[in-house]
Amino acid sequence: MVPDVTPLSPNNQDRDAFQWTAWILRIGMCCCFIGWAWQHLRWGVPYDAVLWHPDYLGWLAQTLSVTWETYVAQIMTDRRILLGVRTLGVVYLVMAGIALTAKRNSRTQLVGLAWGSALLAAAAFSKYVDAGHALATLVEQGGQILTPVVLILALRRGVRDRWTIAVALVAFWATFAGHGVYAIGWAPTPGRFYALVHAIFNSGPDATERLLRTAGILDFVVCVGVVIPMLRPGCLAYATLWGLLTSLARPVAGMSVQADWWGADQFLHEAMLRAPHACLPLFLWFALRRCKPPNIA
C-alpha cells in the first residue's frame, strides 16, 4: 500500500516545493559512503568469506583451470584481497562526493550512485555469509543498499513520486524489520546488541533483555504504522529518533578518553554508515506531508 503522492498542481509546483528534501538523502548517503570508506581503509570488510567460499567462487577456479587449493593459495591471496578492499575504500570516497553533487540529468553521476548501491549490496552479502547465512543480517542492510536508489528516483522523478516513495518504504521496512527480528529474539540476538544497551543504560541482564524486546516490538509497530495516515507522523518521528540514537550509540558506548584517538577511529564511522537509518524516516516524514489517503484500489 503506497500513499497517493501525486503532485497537487498540474504544473508540478508541488513536486518542486518538496524537492529540497532530497538533501536529506544526499547528506545521509554521503555520511554512509564515508563511513564505509573508513571501514574499508582502516578495518576491512569480510569479503574473504565469499571469495574463499567454494560454493560461490568455485566456478572461477574452474574457469581459470586451477584447483581450489591453488586458487586460494596463489590467486585469491590475502595481499590481493587487502589491496582490493583498500581500493574500494577510495571508490566509496568518490561515491560520497557524487551523493552530494549528483544532478538529475547527469547520467554518469546517477550510474555512479547505482554502482554505490551495488557495492553496498556486495558488502552486505559478505557480512551475511560471514555471519553464517543469517538472513536478518542481509535484510537489515536493505536501508543502506536502497537509499542510493531512492536518491536517484528523487532526483529523476521527484521526491513525492509514487516509485520514489515505494522504494523508500521498502528500504524503511527492511531496516526496521531486520533489526526487529534480532531485537525481539526471532533470530539469535547479536551480543553487540546486549553490550550496547548495557553500556548505555548500565542495565542488568533482565532489564537489558526487556529493553531489547520492547525495541523489537516497536520496530514492527512503526513498520505497520507508517502506512496508516493517523499513525504515520508519530511512527516516522519515532523511527527518525530511533535511527539517530542507535547510530550514535556505537561511539557513545565505545569511545573513551583513555583510547588512542578517543576510540573515534573504531566507532565514529559506525554511526556515519548508519545515517540512512535516520535519514530515510525523516525523508518520508517530509515527503508524505499533505498526502491524500492511501489508494488501496
What is the Cα gyration radius of the chain? 21
d(CA 116, CA 94) in angstroms, rounded, equals: 10
pLDDT digits (tens, 9 = 90+) for 108-145: 999 999 999 999 999 999 999 999 898 888 999 999 99
Q: CB neighbours (10 Å) of residue 175? A: 29
149 CB-near residues (< 8 Å, 6+ apart): 113, 114, 117, 167, 171
What average pLDDT does this structure show over 28-35?
Answer: 98
Q: Is the pLDDT of residue 296 over 70?
A: no
Side-chain-side CA neighbours of 189 within 13 Å: the count stands at 19
- Of 54, 132, 121, which is closest to residue 88 (Cα–Cα)? 121
Residue 83 pLDDT greater than 60, yes or no:
yes
Q: How confident is the model over 64-91, as a mean pLDDT?
A: 95
For 238-284, how does the pLDDT look when each residue is reduced to its tens digit (9 = 90+)? Answer: 999 999 999 998 898 888 878 778 888 899 999 999 999 999 999 99
Average pLDDT over residues 9-25: 66
Residue-level pLDDT at 203:
83
Q: Identify the pLDDT of residue 179.
A: 93
The predicted pLDDT at position 205 comes to: 86
Question: In this structure, what are the phi and psi dihedrals at residue 187, rounded to the nearest 5 degrees?
Answer: -120, 150
Render pLDDT for 154-204 as a digit per residue (tens, 0 to 9).
Answer: 999 999 999 999 999 999 999 999 999 999 988 888 888 888 888 778 888
pLDDT for 290: 61
Reading the block at residue 26, the C-alpha cell is: 544526499
Residues in the chain: 297
**Residue 295 above 50 pLDDT?**
no
Distance CA 230, CA 276 (A): 24
Distance CA 120, CA 37 (A): 11
Q: Is the pLDDT of residue 37 over 50?
A: yes
pLDDT over threshold 70, residue 107? yes
Q: Write the burial class of residue 191 (CB in 10 Å: 0-12 exposed, 13-18 middle, 19+ buried).
A: exposed
Q: How far is CA 21 from CA 12, 25, 176, in A?
A: 15, 7, 21
Asked whether the predicted pLDDT for residue 294 surpasses 80, the reply is no
For residues 154 and 22, the answer to whether their CB atoms sit within 8 Å is: yes
Q: How does 68-107 read in b/e, with b if 16+ C-beta sit within 10 Å?
A: eeebbeeebeeeebeeebeebbebbbebbebbeebeeeee
- Which pLDDT score is estimated for 9? 37
pTM: 0.90
User: Helix 142-157 to helix 275-287 angle, to the nearest 10 degrees?
Assistant: 40
Contacts of 173 (CB under 8 A, 6+ apart): 142, 223
Give the three cell numbers for residue 232.
Answer: 504515520
- Arithmetic mean of pLDDT over the chain: 89
